[in-house]
Each structure stands twice: as C-alpha cells, then as structure tokens.
Amino acid sequence: MQYTEQALFDRLADLEGQKLVLTEDISQLKKDFKYNKKTNLDGLPADVVGLVGKAAVIHAKNVYEEQRAQSKAVFDKYEELSGY
C-alpha cells in the first residue's frame, strides 16, 4: 500500500460512508423495535430501547468495567458530599 493523500482520502471516504449507513441502520432498528400505538403494538417502550442501545454500546466497546468504576466513583462522591 502506498501512503498517499489520495489513498488516505479514498479509504476515509469509504469508511465514513459505511459509518453513515450503519448510523442510519441503528436508528431504523431502534425505531422498528419501539412501541407505537398505531404501527407497532408489540414494540418495546422507548426507555427500554434506549437502555438496550446503551448496553449494546458498552458491550461493543468492551468498557463495562471501566464505566462501572467511573459510575461508582461518581455515586460515592455524591453520597459523600450530599450526606445521602
């Protein structure tokens, strides 16, 4: 592979195009699974779809332990400062 501006541009343009398509696909999948009283009575509540989406991102990025530790640190600090 040659490391030229054109090669970089071509590869980035391809990847950005794929990212746009995947972003649209993810959005549509969430819409498809979301409850709608007119079009999808079997769908899931919007808050559940959102939570599942966030859980999927954590899984895909493989950051469960890191995010759990950060969240715990925030809650610990809140409890310390608020007297909760």
Amino acid identity of 66? E
**Statement: residue 1 has pLDDT above 90:** no
pLDDT tens sequence across 6-50: 999 999 999 999 999 999 999 999 999 999 999 999 999 999 999
Domain that holds residue 41: 5-82
Q: Note the pLDDT of residue 44.
A: 98
- Residue 18 CA to its chain's centroid (Å): 16
| Rounded average pLDDT over 47-76 | 97
Sign of the dihedral through C-alpha 24, 25, 29, 32:
positive
Count structural domains, the chain.
1
